[in-house]
Structure 1
């Protein structure tokens, strides 16, 4: 054990989980708000427009998850180096992560731009939704490289403890997005109304402005030199460290999104109204999910620093504290959303059947969301110790063996509809959450933490 944690590690501990987490919550909320704002404003064009954009946005999010593994991996590895008081090592990790994500983001942007029609065809989207989904996906997908760059810069800043600055950028991006949405979607100030194309353009412009702000802050706050050589001058050992954490983490996230897209395919067979109800329910569910994600990321930052400093017992206790806080806050937030269910759904749709069905789904969320908190908080902590593969293996078995199978069985085969799908989500989250908790309590992750510490000494 280290008797002298790094100054930044001590600072993070003194700040406490709440001080680190609340800016992350606002920032994470700001990441999903562009999609929610798009859907809210587009819903005024009709439920078909909102449903089409929602499905197209799922493909966009799928690809964001694909290249976010560099951000996930680099953030953890940077916290390890900073915990070990190796600032130069942290800078090398950051430079390599930026270079990799620039190329990966560019490749995915080109792929989505060229094959957007084929991607939508694979999901068997109803014909009435295609005119809305196609242009939205082409424009949003073709500029995904901006989000790739933003994700890695945000990860670097968070790992250094600059969570508030990341939050400010995210908030600014959303304010710009809201203003441009109003102007471009509905054609204010004499402009031609652009509909779904206007929504996509607003998001792209706001992401570009955020990218410029991230570059400025990374250079100013952590004095990271941004050189063109970083685009091709990679270190195998550092990339290996990032991928050791990033690939299993991304694999687990990709597993969730692929299973989610299969379940979306099931829902598409239920009809346009069911897709619309599911779309609006997911927007509210994502708000609740962001709280768990924020607590998970905040805990990951603290535990990553503690692992780098060799403070394994402190790391063990930190997770248990974070979990108690996370579950309590999630229950409170879910109860509030459930009680406000019908008024919230009426913001998106005026159809009584959609509002009633959506409010019923939120009741199941009282069971679903606490289980999701177990999952997200402990998974992030396991990742911070270097134990990233266990969540992947557990996720593959549970998401496909439980969530997908039960969504088909309950939702389609037995005819429970969306209630069956939501119940399948809840069962999957609780099974995985309890598995993650058992893993942490067993302290099997400590061997990975020791290996991580040993790896830091070799560079």
Structure 2
């Protein structure tokens, strides 16, 4: 396949995925943005709580990532008859996982916020917000499992409709419960959580409809008999390590948040805002990475490793270039962007330094994101996990503490530790992809 055709195929998949992911992240950050007009403390509590919510998205990936890899390879191998059983198994596993997380959030939300070092006032603000959104975990888990099925079949635009609808409903619901027009009671952060949960429920109904219409699949309890240990193992064998690397990363970020809390409320507020805004740049390589994963999965299933290899490097070139451009624009316009969130000049000035470091950080992070997705698509899921566990917990965390607290570099020290982490892992992922060891690890 020529470079032109690879680019067209990649962007055809990537732009709807970007829009979908953009709106999903937007829905999370809409809460912070709208709460920033309500109070800075509420926005800070929501920002910390969102770190836990983002972590659960990766837990859902135990199923959704495995589903996307497996379905993509089955389609590439033209074994479509097996896909219905795989979908049923994936949805059942997602439901079980969602029920477990729902119970956990209902009973332990305040404990999570306490462990992150928040004071009693912020814990009181954040607990109902986290309980409502986390309490909808079963809804979100099933919804998140359906979307990669649609994407793997080529229905990337259709999958995009779900976050579009949920984002619109989320904004409307937040406004109603925060500012109380038409006599609606003002429920504060609890109202934002309720609005988010209801929006996701509508999103699930839409996802089920799209799955039926475009893939021709309708769930029924009679199909539960199709769930087998073999299929469950196949999905989780791919999903657990793939998402495990992401969970490890976000788990380390939660611990880093406790380090930032030591630096004071200004540092914590700055980190919440900068991390939230930077997510939109990260979405560029994420969308390229997911599109690359689908295309590589099809090529691996079709027994075409050379084309898969080229596709991986092609995705890396485009993704890193977009990440660099995005982070540069973010730095140039950092002051007006931050002014939307806060009027605190110390927070605005501190954030500008972090966005400058982001020019390097987001470029090396893009390498990780895209090449890990490429390796996962082939079934080579353990290597990224092992490397991630070692570097994140033995290198990144100690450097984050050393640079920020004992050496008094502050938040900039945290960002330098991020660069060291992403740079080391990115180099190892590039070496692994170039070695082509993954060509021996196809799951079919």
Specify the alignment match of 2:346 in structure 1: 353
From 33, 36, 44, the equivalent of 1:43 is: 36
Specify the alignment match of 1:255 in structure 2: 248
Runs of 4+ in 1 over 2 A off after TM superposition: 12-15, 229-233
Count of paired positions: 441
Deviation sequence 1:235-262 (CA, Å, 0-9, x none): 1111121112111112111111111111
From 267, 292, 304, the equivalent of 1:299 is: 292
From 361, 364, 368, the equivalent of 1:375 is: 368
Specify the alignment match of 1:31 in structure 2: 24
The 1:328/1:373 distance shift into structure 2, 3 A limit, reads same
The question of 1:103 aligning with 2:96 is answered yes
**Which residues in structure 2 correspond to 1:385-404 (within 5 Å)?**
385-404=378-397
Specify the alignment match of 1:284 in structure 2: 277
Specify the alignment match of 2:75 in structure 1: 82
Gaps in structure 2 of 5+ consecutive residues: none
- Please state how far the C-alpha of 1:131 moved relative to its aligned partner: 2.0
Gaps in structure 1 of 5+ consecutive residues: 6-11
From 421, 428, 440, the equivalent of 1:435 is: 428
Specify the alignment match of 1:192 in structure 2: 185
Specify the alignment match of 2:110 in structure 1: 117
The question of 1:201 aligning with 2:194 is answered yes
Specify the alignment match of 1:315 in structure 2: 308
* C-alpha distance in 2 between matches for 1:355 and 1:269: 20
SS at match of 1:413: coil
The 1:279/1:230 distance shift into structure 2, 3 A limit, reads farther
**Which residues in structure 2 correspond to 1:414-453 (within 5 Å)?**
414-449=407-442, 452=443
Specify the alignment match of 2:10 in structure 1: 17
Specify the alignment match of 1:214 in structure 2: 207
SS at match of 1:439: helix
Deviates more, 1:217-226 or 1:371-380: 217-226
* C-alpha distance in 1 between matches for 2:8 and 2:274: 35
CA contact (8 A) 1:28 1:290 kept: yes
The 1:352/1:230 distance shift into structure 2, 3 A limit, reads farther
From 385, 398, 403, the equivalent of 1:405 is: 398
Deviation sequence 1:321-363 (CA, Å, 0-9, x none): 1111111111111111110101111111011001111111100
The question of 1:179 aligning with 2:181 is answered no
The question of 1:331 aligning with 2:331 is answered no
Specify the alignment match of 2:128 in structure 1: 135
* C-alpha distance in 2 between matches for 1:200 and 1:114: 16
- Please state how far the C-alpha of 1:63 moved relative to its aligned partner: 2.0
* C-alpha distance in 1 between matches for 2:340 and 2:263: 23
* C-alpha distance in 2 between matches for 1:268 and 1:19: 42
Deviation sequence 1:12-43 (CA, Å, 0-9, x none): 96951011100000101111111211001101
TM-score (norm 2): 0.97
Deviates more, 1:182-191 or 1:275-284: 182-191
Specify the alignment match of 1:8 in structure 2: none
TM-score (norm 1): 0.94
* C-alpha distance in 1 between matches for 2:305 and 2:395: 33
* C-alpha distance in 1 between matches for 2:54 and 2:252: 13
Specify the alignment match of 1:146 in structure 2: 139
Deviation sequence 1:86-107 (CA, Å, 0-9, x none): 1111221111000110111011
Please tell me the root mean square deviation across aligned C-alpha atoms, in Å.
Answer: 1.5
Deviates more, 1:226-235 or 1:439-448: 226-235
Deviates more, 1:113-122 or 1:292-301: 113-122
CA contact (8 A) 2:61 2:240 kept: no
SS at match of 1:201: helix
From 265, 278, 283, the equivalent of 2:258 is: 265
